[in-house]
Amino acid sequence: MLQCAEARNHSLLCVGLDPDPARFPAQLKGDASRIYDFCAAIVDATADLAMAFKPQIAYFAAHRAEEQLERLVAHIKRTAPHVPVILDAKRGDIGSTAGQYAIEAFERYGADAVTLSPFMGFDSVQPYLKYHGKGAILLCRTSNPGGDDLQNQRLASVDGQPLVYEHLARLAQGPWNENGQLGLVVGATYPKEIERVRELAPTLPLLIPGVGAQGGDAEATVRAGLRTDASGTVTGPVIVSSSRAILYASQGSDFAQAARAEAQRTRDTLNAARA
């Protein structure tokens, strides 16, 4: 599905849906009951430009808007069925609790993939892999400064002293990925580390947030993470996410048109970097 959306929309852009009613345009501002209306307008304006949509569950749950999230995913499935939905949830638990989170992501919301925190090991990921055709995208090297506290520490190992994020990339490319359902999250603010993750996980989809408002360099991100074969076919996909720069491109009644213009600018920048 990811490859279909990339080819059909000629896009590496993931539009993040992080609705904050305090930042809505004047006619919607402060009204949490209009989260669906705001996000659906963004979806409709950008559906032919996006490789994926990524709703962040906290922005809905904080405003008791889970039902609006259900409606939004249903709207995407109805109007842009070729564009996958990545539920940005960053869940991290084991056993029956992880199983319930998997039901939430894939059965309640109907997402095509979900972001996870793999800190508790493979049994925190395994329940999601029972849903064949669905993806689990694991936090690997995040862009926040505190990511160094754990991700950039060295492990004692028979293979030398890999950094934690390097070890995770190897696991996700190898023994954890029996059915080819895994991807990795790598922040756009660390292009050298994107390149290192790509070296260790040559075929996994890399979800790369941080382009736009967070300052990530779109061109450096694509060069570091995207891989193609001699025919130009993508062998190592990247899903480059931008949220606030697109959502809040305008505070006026033209917010959807402004979002489209920003999404198109970002998509074109990413495509130019392919060369």
- What are the tens digits of pLDDT across the range 45-96? 999 999 999 999 999 999 999 999 999 999 999 999 999 999 999 999 999 9
Domain 2-273 class? alpha beta
Average pLDDT, the chain: 92
Inform me whether the pLDDT recorded for 216 exceeds 80.
Answer: no
Inform me whether the pLDDT recorded for 153 exceeds 90.
Answer: no
Identify the band that residue 173 occupies on the pLDDT scale cut at 50, 70 and 90. Answer: very high
Residues annotated as catalytic (active site), given as ranges: 90
What pLDDT does 120 receive? 95
pTM: 0.94
Q: Where are the domains of the chain?
A: 2-273
Identify the band that residue 211 occupies on the pLDDT scale cut at 50, 70 and 90. Answer: confident
The dihedral of CA 81, 183, 221, 89: what is its sign? positive
Query: pLDDT tens digit string along 96-144?
Result: 999 999 999 999 999 999 999 999 999 999 999 999 999 999 999 988 8
